[in-house]
Structure 1
Amino acid sequence: MDVLEAIRQRRSVRKFDPSHRMSEAEIGQLMDHVILSPTAFNIQNWRFIAVRDPELRAEIRKAAWGQSQVTDASLLLVFCMDLKSWEKSPERYWVNAPAHVSDSMVREIQHFYRDDDMLQRDEGMRSCGMAAQTAMLAAKAMGYESCPMDGFDFKRVGHLINLPPDHRICMMLCIGKPLAAAHPRAGQLELADVFMQDGFPERDD
């Protein structure tokens, strides 16, 4: 599927065929594309948990206030961020670059993120957001639908997946075969309402 067509057709679907599961090859294909998503300084600070165990899925569904897509989707991914990826052997992110480039980038990474907890979290949110969009478009191109989620108890899900102390959850993503089409778009703002040239309009006050 053409990427522009995938963007046009992608919708959030909540009713999935619970009898369908993606093959290992399909999951591998999906994730091989997801990890091509961009990250600042190439720190690759996303971490992805595929929840396969039915009992664990059932517990996560409870933490998501009973939303059926958590257990019925073919694949449930929890998108997490490693807040300290910037200091965990950062030279590995530039292992294929010339030595002088690698050395420079490692210094920049450490200078940029050190002592700035808010920036570390914000960077993780940006990275996971881009990875999730990649996953949704890749899933659509593969013939699947998806549903991004933040309607769940983050603390409870973190406990269930044994989230490390220096990690945070960004969101979950359900992917699978739909049982019903998405509802019509509820209301799309006009492009002119959200797209401006060179800044926001001058304010009278």
Structure 2
Amino acid sequence: MDVVIAIKSRRAIKHFDPDYQLPQHDIDTLVSLAQLSPTAFNIQHWRFLLVQDRTLREAIRALSWMQPQITDASLLIVICADLKAWQKQPERYWRNAPPEIREGLLAAIDSYYRDCETVQRDEAMRSCGIAAQTLMLAAQALGYDSCPMDLADFAEVGRLIRLPEDHVIGLFVAIGKGIREPWPRGGALDRDEVVIRNRF
């Protein structure tokens, strides 16, 4: 699918066919494409938790305003990020770079993240958002529907999924076959209200 068509046709779908199962090769394709999402310094700190256990999905739904897409979508992905990925063997992220470039980048990574918990979290959330959009557009291109989701008690969900202490949940993405047309678009703001040139 043309990327412009995918962007224009993607909608947040709330009702999925609970009997439809994504083929494993499509799940693999979606994850592979999500892994192409950019991250600062290429630290690739997103983690894609595929929730396939039905009981766990029901428990997550109970913590997420009982939203039906949690249990009815074929695939539920909890997009998390490792806040400390920057210090976990960062040479891995630049193993193919020339040594002088690699050393400069490793020094920059350390300088940017060390003792900066706000930066670590901000970068994690940016990366989760970018990866979510990649997943949703990839799903659209493969003929699936999707829904980005929050409205959850992420602290409790974190306990359910045994989220490591140095990780954070960004959002969920539900993917599957929609069974209802989405509502009409709610109404876009005028471009002049959202596009600012040079300064506010």
Please confirm whether the aligned pair reaches a TM-score higher than 0.5, indicating the same fold: yes
2:74 pairs with 1:113 = no
- Aligned position for 1:94: 94
In the superposition, the TM-score normalised over structure 1's length comes to 0.96
In structure 2, how many angstroms separate the alpha carbons of the residues matched to 1:21 and 1:103? Answer: 45
**Number of residue pairs aligned between Structure 1 and Structure 2:** 200
In structure 2, how many angstroms separate the alpha carbons of the residues matched to 1:163 and 1:46? Answer: 13
Shift of 1:165: 0.3
- Aligned position for 1:44: 44
In the superposition, the TM-score normalised over structure 2's length comes to 0.99
Q: Which runs of 5+ in 2 are unaligned?
A: none
Q: Which runs of 5+ in 1 are unaligned?
A: 201-205
In structure 2, how many angstroms separate the alpha carbons of the residues matched to 1:57 and 1:152? Answer: 13
- Aligned position for 1:141: 141
Question: Which SS does the other structure have where 2:178 is aligned?
Answer: coil
In structure 1, how many angstroms separate the alpha carbons of the residues matched to 2:21 and 2:61? Answer: 17
Within-5 A mapping of 1:19-98: 19-98=19-98
In structure 1, how many angstroms separate the alpha carbons of the residues matched to 2:62 and 2:125? Answer: 24
Shift of 1:121: 0.1
Q: Map Cα deviations across residues 63-118 of structure 1 (whole Å, 9 max, x no partner).
A: 11211100000100001010000000000000011111111101110111000001
In structure 2, how many angstroms separate the alpha carbons of the residues matched to 1:8 and 1:38? Answer: 22
- Aligned position for 1:203: none
- Aligned position for 2:191: 191
Identity %: 51
In structure 1, how many angstroms separate the alpha carbons of the residues matched to 2:45 and 2:4? Answer: 27
